[in-house]
């Protein structure tokens, strides 16, 4: 939805290098990005009016383990905070809503995940419907293979298209110091790999990643002050929305993502061209599903960071997309970009945010 109160901008961001297994505790990963994001924004910790985080207790194997991450924010002064048991992109949405009230002018959001601490193929099914889906033991890769097969059978893509997306992701990640999977292997080399789950190969799957990301938001007056003091361009959130589809994969068309399209329409996708789209395509075939659902064409650069195929810190991947989108405006001079996050099996729930530069901010009121 468009802003209903004060205009909000992303004024700071930071992320850790994404790695297969970090020796640091999750709270330390969070502490590093919190300090760096606040410094990037030029904000003192005492200025933050609201803090919201996203993580998953399933990954750590304990209850309320997210509370320990608050140690990274500091014990004094006391903070007003909230938590979502989802990707940090939904914490970003909650902070955006909170800032609409107008009584505070700055918010801190972070997302974190240590996927290496457990077997994802055993952990992730536990979050599904306990009666009909969890009992099947359908792991994320198996479900993704079913979706990929549906895409192939529908004639929407070929296995070479999957390999092309994976190869481009790895090539783009070469310029990203935080990416985990990099390389210049072409599609032919990737197609020579054996199947992990037919029709998906290892290159079609997201890596297991540990990492964290933090983003700082500010209302209009505060954002302009910080941007002027820091000499940077704020990334204005001109629209943001999230939508959900049925939990059961069998009752929806897996070859498209109507919830992504609806969220994008509400966020204002049609108001102008999108130069860059950071999409949470955790499997290679999902990039095509999302680009087709959004109606993006060759004029839009997809995942210049490498995307989720280059690094996939579960519960932070979507917020990383938002940070990367803001980076495109602040550091690369882009005017209008899109960030996408997903949650649940097979693109079940989707969030879309449209970010614009100062040059185009007048288009969103």
Return the pLDDT at 3.
54
- Sign of the C-alpha dihedral computed for residues 6, 231, 38 and 278 taken in this order: positive
Give me the pLDDT at residue 150, please.
98
Confidence band for 361, pLDDT divided at 50, 70 and 90: very low
| pLDDT at residue 362 in the model | 44
Q: Does pTM surpass 0.85?
A: yes
Q: Which residues of 167-187 are buried (b: 16+ CB within 10 A; e: fewer)?
A: bbbbbbbeebebbbbbeebeb
Res. 131 pLDDT band, cuts 50 70 90 = confident
CB-based contacts of 239: which residues, under 8 Å, 6+ apart?
A: 1, 2, 266, 267, 268, 269, 271, 352, 353, 354, 364
- Rounded to an integer, what distance in angstroms lies between the CA atom of residue 106 and that of residue 276? 26
Model confidence at 326: pLDDT above 60:
yes
- Look up residue 66 and give its two tokens: 């997210």
The number of angstroms, rounded, from the C-alpha of 335 to the middle of its chain's C-alpha atoms is 20
- Residues 277-310 pLDDT 10s: 999 999 999 999 999 999 999 999 999 999 999 9
pLDDT at 359 over 60: no
* 116-140 per-residue burial string, b: 16 or more CB within 10 A, e: under 16: eeeebeebbbeebeeeebeeeebbb
**Other beta carbons less than 10 A from residue 93's beta carbon:** 24
| Confidence (pLDDT) at 9 | 98
Helix runs in 102-257, H state only? 120-123, 140-153, 159-173, 187-191, 220-230
* pLDDT at 201 exceeding the cut of 60: yes
Please give the structure tokens belonging to residue 127: 């979050």
- Residues 53-80 pLDDT 10s: 998 887 777 777 788 888 899 878 889 9
Q: Tell me, what's the pLDDT at 2?
A: 59
- Through-space distance between the first and last CA atoms of the chain, rounded to whole angstroms: 11
Q: Across residues 226-244, what is the average pLDDT?
A: 97
| Band (127; pLDDT cuts 50, 70, 90) | confident
339-349: b (≥16 Cβ within 10 Å) or e: bbbbbbbbbbb
User: Coil, strand, or helix at residue 60?
Assistant: helix
Closest C-alpha among 243, 286, 293 to residue 303: 286
Looking at residue 194, the DSSP 8-state letter turns out to be: P
| The predicted structure's pLDDT at residue 1 | 65
Residue from 331, 333, 307 nearest 320 by CA: 307
Render 242-311 in DSSP notation, one character per residue: EEE--S-GGGS-TT--HHHHHHHHHHTGGGS--SEEE----SHHHHHHHHHHHT--TTSEE-TT-GGGT-
Q: Tell me the three state secondary structure of residue 29.
A: helix
Give the separation between CA 184 and CA 174, rounded to whole angstroms.
Answer: 8
Q: From CA 202, how far away is CA 220, in angstroms rounded?
A: 45
**Angstrom distance (rounded) from CA 347 to CA 364:** 28
Query: Within 10 A of 363 (CB to CB), how many other CB atoms are there?
Result: 15
Confidence of residue 360 (pLDDT cuts 50, 70, 90): low
Give the per-residue pLDDT at 66: 80
Is the pLDDT at 132 greater than 80? The verdict is: yes
Are the C-beta atoms of residues 211 and 317 closer than 8 Å to each other?
Answer: no
């Amino acid at each position: 939805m468009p802003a209903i109160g004060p205009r909000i901008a992303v004024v700071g961001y930071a992320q850790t290098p994404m790695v297969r297994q970090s020796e640091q505790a999750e709270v330390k990963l969070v502490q590093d990005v919190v300090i760096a994001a606040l410094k990037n924004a030029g904000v003192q910790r005492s200025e933050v009016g609201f803090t919201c985080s996203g993580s998953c207790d399933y990954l750590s194997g304990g209850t309320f383990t997210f509370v320990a991450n608050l140690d990274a924010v500091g014990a004094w002064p006391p903070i007003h905070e909230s938590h979502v048991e989802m990707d940090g992109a939904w914490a970003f949405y909650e902070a955006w809503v909170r800032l609409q009230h107008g009584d505070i002018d700055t918010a801190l959001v972070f997302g974190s995940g240590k996927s290496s601490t457990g077997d994802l193929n055993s952990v992730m099914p536990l979050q599904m419907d306990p009666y009909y889906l969890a009992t099947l033991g359908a792991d994320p890769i198996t479900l993704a293979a079913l979706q990929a097969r549906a895409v192939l059978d529908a004639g929407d893509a070929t296995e070479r298209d999957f390999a092309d997306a994976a190869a481009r992701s790895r090539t783009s990640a070469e310029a990203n110091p935080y990416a985990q999977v990099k390389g210049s292997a072409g599609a032919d080399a990737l197609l020579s790999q054996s199947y992990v789950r037919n029709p998906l190969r290892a290159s079609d799957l997201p890596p297991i990643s540990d990492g964290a990301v933090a983003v700082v938001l500010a209302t209009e007056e505060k954002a302009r002050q910080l941007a002027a003091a820091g000499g940077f361009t704020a990334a204005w959130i001109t629209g943001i929305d999230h939508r959900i589809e049925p939990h059961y994969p069998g009752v929806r068309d897996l070859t498209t993502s109507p919830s992504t399209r609806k969220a994008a329409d509400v966020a204002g996708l049609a108001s102008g061209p999108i130069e860059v789209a950071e999409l949470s395509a955790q499997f290679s075939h999902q990039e095509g599903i999302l680009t087709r659902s959004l109606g993006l064409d060759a004029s839009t650069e997809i995942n210049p960071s490498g995307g989720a195929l280059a690094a996939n810190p579960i519960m932070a991947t979507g917020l990383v997309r938002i940070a990367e989108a803001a980076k495109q405006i602040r550091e690369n001079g882009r005017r209008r970009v899109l960030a996408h996050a997903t949650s649940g099996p097979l693109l079940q729930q989707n969030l879309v945010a449209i970010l614009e530069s100062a040059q185009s901010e007048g288009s969103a009121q």
